[in-house]
Structure 1
């Protein structure tokens, strides 16, 4: 059961990251601001966990990451946008609620 709960939490975090970025007009956010937004939604996670989730999302083609001199900037891809809106299904990412 622990494994199932951990998996669901991980998938929910990934969806929340996509939805937060997708809600922005620029479709881009720096990782520091993203961490604060996740904290405000009671989804705070250590920086290394956030980095791991972002790297995973990048490997799946759902986001792109620009490494800057100070921090990182994350942009949602077309695939990530489609999943965040519930148009497509991506393994390893929770499905958005209908409605």
Structure 2
């Protein structure tokens, strides 16, 4: 089945989020910092779209989400998300890393 451009972009954005988390020593980032990092990489994403992606990723077991007192989310990379970001496992709906 051929994927649409929108599907490919969604899969790439999900992988990019996992890769950003993988770069962090504690595998954790807050929602605002993640949005800024995506924007800096020319992947500006509306807050509702980003939250929808993060919720999808949580349902797949790739990240864990926690609400903070400031009404933002804290995002934690799971072991499955780590493996997916490294290309050691695949997840339908997430692009594969280039070197995997």
Which range, TM-score by smaller chain?
A: over 0.9
SS in 2 for 1:73: strand
The RMSD of aligned alpha carbons is: 1.0
Query: Partners in 2 of 1:98 and 1:27 — Cα distance?
Result: 21
SS in 2 for 1:43: coil
TM-score (norm 1): 0.95
Shift of 1:17: 0.4
SS in 2 for 1:64: strand
The equivalent residue for 1:72 is 73
Deviations 1:28-70 (CA, angstroms, capped at 9, x unpaired): 0000000000001111110000000000000000000011111
Number of aligned residue pairs: give it.
97
Unmatched segments (≥5 aa) in structure 1: none
Query: Partners in 1 of 2:85 and 2:26 — Cα distance?
Result: 15
Query: Partners in 1 of 2:60 and 2:67 — Cα distance?
Result: 18
Query: Partners in 2 of 1:95 and 1:72 — Cα distance?
Result: 25
SS in 2 for 1:75: strand
